[in-house]
Amino acid sequence: MSFRRCACFSIAIVFIGVAPGTYAPATYAGAPDGKADRIIVLKAQRELDLLRDGVVLKAYPIALGRHPHGAKRRLGDGRTPEGVYVIDSRLDHTPYHLALHISYPDPIDREQAAASGFPPGGEIFIHGMPARFGRTDPVRFFRDWTNGCIAVGNIAIEEIWNAVDDGTPVEIRP
């Protein structure tokens, strides 16, 4: 690998918050068995859980918005929303491998943003890594790097994509 290519790859790794040596094949035991009926995102623990009938089927490491503390209040604040939403659409042609759209903003989010004089923002997704990283997943993320989305590895987003249907509730907790 040329010095230039190595330098570019190193910069890309730093940019998305994955430390060298921690970007390895997924350590997941495999895709969850069957469909999940709920997603819970635990922001403080940097974890996304797939549940069925209240039982965790699988847990995944996540990265959040670049300002992860507190709920999203307006466009451009770099925060990940908090509350209960649903998966309302899917994108399979995106720079971030696959993406599941979350129904943010809800009416309360819109009202709070309007009261502050700002638009609420939107386009919040659960998505994978940039497609150039292929089918490998980070063991964990070392920094939050999205604009408010919830990022998982590319193998993880494939598993989540297949395990949930549109309309699946997504609860995002502090």
pLDDT at position 141, please?
A: 77
Are 40 and 77 spatial neighbours (Cβ–Cβ below 8 Å)?
A: no
In 3D space, the residue among 9, 19, 4, 5 whose CA is nearest the CA of residue 142 turns out to be 19
Catalytic residues: 127, 149
pLDDT at site 3: 39
For CA atoms 41, 44, 46, 49, give the dihedral sign. negative
pLDDT in tens, 72-96: 888 999 999 999 999 999 999 889 8
C-alpha 140/C-alpha 46 separation (Å) is 9
**Structurally, how many domains does the chain consist of?**
1
Instruction: Report the pLDDT value the prediction gives residue 131, as an integer from 0 to 100.
Output: 76
Please tell me the predicted confidence (pLDDT) of residue 134. 77
Query: Can you spell out the DSSP letters for 62-103?
Result: -B-BSS-SS---STTS-PPP-EEEEEEEEEEEETTEEEEEE-
Question: How confident is the prediction for the chain on average, in pLDDT?
Answer: 83
Structure tokens at 47: 């974890």
pLDDT at position 139 is 62
Predicted local distance difference test score (pLDDT) of residue 133:
80
pLDDT for residue 25 = 35
- Reference 41, options 121, 109, 125; nearest CA is 125
Q: Which pLDDT does position 62 carry in this prediction?
A: 96
Question: Could you say which residues of the chain have pLDDT below 50?
Answer: 1-29
**C-alpha–C-alpha distance, residues 63 and 123, integer Å:** 16
Residue 131 sits in a domain of what CATH number?
A: 2.40.440.10
Q: Determine the structural domain holding residue 59 and report its residue range.
A: 3-173
Q: Cα 27 to the chain's mean position, in Å?
A: 18
pTM for the model: 0.80
